[in-house]
């Protein structure tokens, strides 16, 4: 487990009791690029996604991890495979279905406009209770949080005092952050933006955790140009070069 200076007034982490997770969201998929809901549909990486995975692999080349885990969905597994080949010892990628994205059920393959038209009752329930609203024939955010939390606890107990790499999905990254900072998952869920191939680092123990890094995408800085989605103050604001 890596070490860092402890902030004044805080006790240092007990390395033997913590597991350090490097939690990575998969690279861009073809449906990410098209704006389609994926959930647990097995969608492959886009060309941009393959480039993102290569950039991530280059950044992590030669690093030591005690284990590498991945969701069993192709967009996560293919990202993990690209990275694991460059790590020290080229560790085997172990798949765990508990790391899957939320099951969106009948929403899979649809864009937001179609969902609003075809599933008005679901949209209404989502607006009134986003945490417990279940996707038609799928999961709720609460379901995902419970499943992912169990998986992280199993991995933490299996790898106490070690550093492991986990390649997964945006919803599961949010769960990892919630476990690290404490409180109820629903209080942070909608406030976290998780980019493709971003690195989030958390240290988890039986009694809690620490958020060490969130949504780090330094390896992608020259892949895409900023657009209006990056400007929270409006399209009229210009980027300063």
Q: Report the alpha-carbon distance of residue 156 to residue 17 in Å, rounded.
A: 9
In order, the DSSP letters of 57-75 are: HHHHTT---SEEEE-SSHH
* Kind plus residue range of the DSSP H or E element containing 166: strand 163-168
Q: Mention every residue, 6+ apart, whose C-beta is less than 8 A from residue 146.
A: none
Secondary-structure percent of the chain, ordered helix, strand, coil, rounded to 5: 40, 15, 45
In the Cβ-directed half-sphere of 121, how many Cα atoms lie within 13 Å? Answer: 2
Catalytic residue numbers? 26, 101
The SS3 assignment for 76 reads: helix
Query: Hey, what are 30's tokens?
Result: 């073809």
Task: Give the whole-angstrom CA distance, residue 44 versus residue 38.
Answer: 11
- Bridge partners (DSSP) of residue 211 are 202
Q: How do beta strands 163-168 and 67-70 pair? A: parallel
Length of the chain: 241
């Amino acid at each position: 487990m890596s070490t860092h200076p402890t902030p004044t007034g805080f006790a240092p982490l007990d390395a033997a009791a913590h597991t350090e997770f490097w939690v990575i969201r998969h690279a861009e998929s073809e449906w990410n690029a098209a704006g389609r809901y994926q959930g647990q549909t097995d969608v492959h990486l886009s060309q941009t996604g393959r480039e993102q995975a290569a950039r991530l692999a280059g950044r992590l080349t030669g690093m030591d991890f005690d284990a590498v885990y991945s969701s069993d969905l192709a967009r996560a597994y293919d990202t993990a495979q690209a990275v694991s080949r460059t790590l020290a010892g080229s560790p085997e990628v172990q798949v765990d279905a508990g790391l899957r994205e939320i099951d969106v059920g009948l929403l899979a393959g649809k864009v937001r406009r179609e969902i609003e038209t075809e599933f008005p009752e679901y949209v209404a329930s989502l607006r009134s209770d986003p945490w417990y609203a279940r996707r038609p024939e799928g999961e709720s955010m609460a379901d995902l949080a419970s499943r992912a939390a169990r998986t992280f606890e199993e991995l933490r107990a299996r790898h106490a005092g070690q550093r492991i790499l986990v390649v997964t999905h945006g919803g599961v990254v949010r769960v990892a952050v919630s476990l690290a900072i404490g409180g109820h998952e629903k209080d942070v869920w909608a406030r976290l933006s998780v980019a493709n191939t971003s690195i989030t680092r958390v240290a988890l123990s039986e009694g809690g955790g620490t958020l060490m890094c969130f949504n780090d995408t330094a390896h992608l800085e020259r892949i895409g140009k900023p657009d209006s989605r990056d400007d929270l103050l409006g399209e009229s604001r210009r980027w300063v070069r």
